[in-house]
């Protein structure tokens, strides 16, 4: 029997679709239903590896976690990873399908991929009671409507009841809701069963007159007003979320001249134009003893205790960007001043002596190469094969930045292209095992003085014990006192998902939503209607 389906649409990007979808997944899973998430097409540089070594959007991995099930490629059959303003890599069912430009994709390729999308949905629908689908951007992009496979076309194929979500925090929510519905075709509008207002701050009584005025204009009920949830502590993947993180440097500037041993550890992450998997550092940012900022200018590195080069979808282009911005010289200056340097994935490749792209993997078929920072005795050659797999590792060294540390095991995942070659005498950072294989392989590299290291493993800071030991060692290396408080992100993750679900459940009329799905109301814990 095919699953019942609910789709979360947004009036625009960053309306909260991904997080609200995760919340609904957890709410329905807690009610005893077998639930799975689905997003036909996702555009994001934030991705995750499934247990079987496929690549999907990180939001769908979080949503699967909310459902308490393993993530699989069918939950996000098409992943678009932008490489420029007009070009992107297409990942189909977790494997690289090809490189396309925007015109070719929207006018031709999308029709080739839609049957795979439908097959993926049907496979999930045959295994679960409820599928919670997520739309993308806005369903009212009329220039893209004819070949849109992620919003109304997918909703019709799934027979989904649609909930339209507007973000009041950015203003204009009533106009956005009305404008979205006005631009939909009659058959599309008929699929939208209700709307919700997200990220509300203030007294809902002041909003109620607007809701009453909008009901006859919209012709659909309000399913709820969801208050802004502070300190959510869960993954966000939208590009707007990246911009929010970049502005965090404002809260870091005043710390540059502080000499107190109690001050926060100042960590600078290079805000590369093609930065991928920026959620790698959310757990570090949550530590009370850390002040983490995303930086774009050389002067912003002043006073940094630790500099991190993150992953990159376009490693060679981002290496050029570091040169143009003067960040390369500033980063080497911080290293000379005793600061630690870390590279993750593409950032690790940049720390080596050279990156070669003989097949033009990142350069539209044109062979090219760039010199790296030369801080690690390795060089990288990019290949067409993409490595995607969960991994677990043990750090080889018992000291980091000249200080001992106790917890050296970690878990994460690899998503990268390229083979890194060690120069004679180079020291790997860790030994890792990959899902599906008992073999132990070297990973990353560490400098002879221990102040620079790189790894291919994303997510290694998500583990509380590893992160705490790491922060302790780096603080000690910089002459800072041990932390007075710690974040327990991994230990609290389930509680955070349940907190999100309880917050949304209290705000939405779940009886109304269950009615759309033809479900019986649970005996207790029904949502609160406005």
Residues annotated as catalytic are 345, 458
Q: How far apart are CA 151 and CA 484, in angstroms?
A: 47
List, in sequence order, every residue forming a beta bridge with 381; answer none if it has no partner.
Answer: 356, 419
Q: Which residue has the tokens 């302790």?
A: 472
Query: In 129-172, which residue ranges form alpha helices assigned H by DSSP?
Result: 152-158
φ and ψ of 288, to 5 deg:
-60, -25
For every residue of 201-226, which 3-state class applies, written as one string?
A: CCCHHHHHHHHHHHHHHHCCCEEEEE
Contact 252, 21 (CB under 8 A): no
What phi and psi values does residue 521 have, to the nearest 5 degrees?
Answer: -70, 130
Question: How many CA atoms, within 13 angstroms, populate the side-chain half-sphere of residue 399?
Answer: 11
* Residue located via tokens 């720390």: 351
Which residues, including other chains, have CB under 8 Å from residue 104's CB and lie 6 or more apart? none
Most distant pair of Cα atoms in the chain: their distance = 74
d(CA 120, CA 128): 13
61 CB-near residues (< 8 Å, 6+ apart): 48, 50, 71, 235
Q: Are 62 and 22 in contact (CB under 8 A)?
A: yes
Q: Which of 69, 59, 78, 58 is nearest to 21 (CA)?
A: 59
Alpha helices in 74-163 (DSSP H): 102-104, 110-125, 152-158
For tokens 């292209």, the residue is: 417
Beta bridge partners of 237: none
Give, as one character, the DSSP assignment of residue 12.
S
Q: Is 259 exposed, middle or buried (0-12, 13-18, 19+ CB in 10 A)?
A: exposed
Q: Residues, the chain, total?
A: 530
């Amino acid at each position: 029997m095919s699953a019942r389906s609910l789709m979360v649409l947004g009036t625009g990007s960053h309306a909260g679709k991904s997080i609200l979808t995760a919340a609904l997944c957890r709410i329905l899973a807690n009610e005893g239903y077998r639930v799975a998430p689905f997003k036909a097409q996702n555009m994001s540089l934030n991705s995750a590896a499934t247990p079987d070594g496929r690549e999907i959007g990180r939001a769908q991995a979080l949503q699967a976690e909310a459902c308490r099930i393993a993530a699989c490629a069918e939950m996000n059959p098409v992943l678009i990873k932008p490489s420029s303003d007009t070009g992107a890599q297409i990942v189909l069912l977790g494997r690289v399908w090809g490189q396309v430009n925007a015109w070719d994709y929207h006018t031709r390729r999308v029709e080739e991929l839609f049957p795979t999308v439908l097959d993926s949905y049907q496979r999930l629908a045959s295994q679960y009671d409820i599928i919670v689908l997520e739309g993308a951007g806005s369903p009212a992009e009329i220039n893209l409507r004819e070949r849109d496979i992620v919003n109304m076309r997918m909703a019709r194929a799934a027979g989904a009841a649609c909930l339209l979500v507007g973000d009041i925090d950015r203003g204009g929510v009533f106009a956005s809701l009305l404008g979205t519905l006005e631009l939909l075709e009659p058959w599309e509008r008929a699929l939208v069963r209700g709307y919700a207002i997200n990220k509300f701050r203030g007294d809902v009584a002041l909003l109620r007159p607007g809701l009453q005025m909008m009901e006859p204009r919209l012709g659909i009920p309000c399913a709820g007003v969801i208050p802004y949830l502070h300190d959510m502590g869960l993954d966000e993947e939208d590009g707007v979320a990246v911009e929010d993180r970049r502005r965090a440097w404002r809260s870091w500037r005043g710390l540059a001249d502080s000499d107190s041993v109690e001050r926060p550890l100042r960590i600078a992450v290079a805000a590369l134009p093609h930065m991928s998997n920026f959620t790698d550092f959310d757990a570090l940012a949550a530590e009370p003893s850390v002040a983490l900022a995303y930086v774009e200018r050389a002067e912003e590195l002043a006073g940094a205790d630790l500099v991190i080069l993150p992953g990159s979808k376009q490693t060679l282009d981002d290496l050029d960007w570091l040169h143009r911005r003067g960040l390369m010289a500033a980063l080497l200056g911080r290293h000379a001043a005793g600061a630690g340097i870390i590279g993750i994935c593409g950032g690790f490749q940049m720390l080596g002596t050279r990156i070669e792209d003989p097949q033009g993997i990142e350069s539209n078929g044109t062979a090219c190469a760039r010199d790296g920072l030369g801080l690690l005795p390795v060089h990288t050659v990019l290949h067409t094969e993409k490595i995607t797999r969960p991994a677990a590792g043990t750090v080889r060294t018992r000291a980091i930045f000249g200080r001992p540390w106790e917890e050296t095991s970690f878990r994460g995942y690899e998503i990268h292209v390229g083979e890194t070659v060690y120069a004679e005498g180079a020291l790997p950072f860790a030994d890792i095992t990959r899902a599906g294989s008992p073999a132990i392989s070297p990973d990353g590299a560490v400098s002879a003085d221990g102040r620079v290291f790189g790894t291919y493993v994303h997510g290694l800071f998500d583990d509380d014990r590893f992160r705490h030991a790491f922060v302790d060692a780096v603080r000690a290396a910089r002459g800072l006192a041990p932390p007075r408080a710690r974040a327990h992100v991994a230990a609290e993750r389930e509680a955070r998902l349940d907190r999100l679900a309880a917050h949304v459940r209290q705000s939405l009329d779940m009886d109304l939503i269950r009615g759309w799905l033809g479900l019986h109301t649970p005996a207790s814990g029904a949502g609160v209607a406005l």
